[in-house]
Amino acid sequence: MEKGTIHIGTFTAKDHHVLVEALKIPDKRDSGLLEAVRHVAEAKRLLDGKGTLMEAVRLFLSEAAREKNHLPREAKTEAEFTTSYDLGRP
């Protein structure tokens, strides 16, 4: 209830549980649940079924470590990157 207005929504027990648990997850940047969902949706769109979000994060981190250690790496466009890497492997 906000400013005397009642907001009503219909949720299944499972929907309610997921929402309550998601709201419990701490976020130091306080970007909120809605922003997190937007980021996940955009990441999934960019991945286009070529692996999971966590696989992409692991690949990104391994590439960042490679750059930090000055190991040679080919420059890739987004299209080349998503088609040339097997995101299923670390």
Give me the pLDDT at residue 1, please.
Answer: 44
Give me the pLDDT at residue 89, please.
Answer: 45
Rg (CA), the chain: 19
Counting beta carbons within 10 angstroms of the beta carbon of residue 15, is it exposed (0 to 12), middle (13 to 18) or buried (19 or more)?
exposed
pLDDT per residue over 2-32, tens digit each? 567 777 888 899 988 988 888 787 666 666 7
pLDDT per residue over 42-82, tens digit each? 999 999 999 898 999 888 888 888 777 765 556 566 556 55
Q: DSSP assignment of 4-16, as one string?
A: TB-------HHHH
Q: What's the whole-model pTM score? A: 0.49
User: Please, which pLDDT band fits residue 90 given cuts at 50, 70 and 90?
Assistant: very low
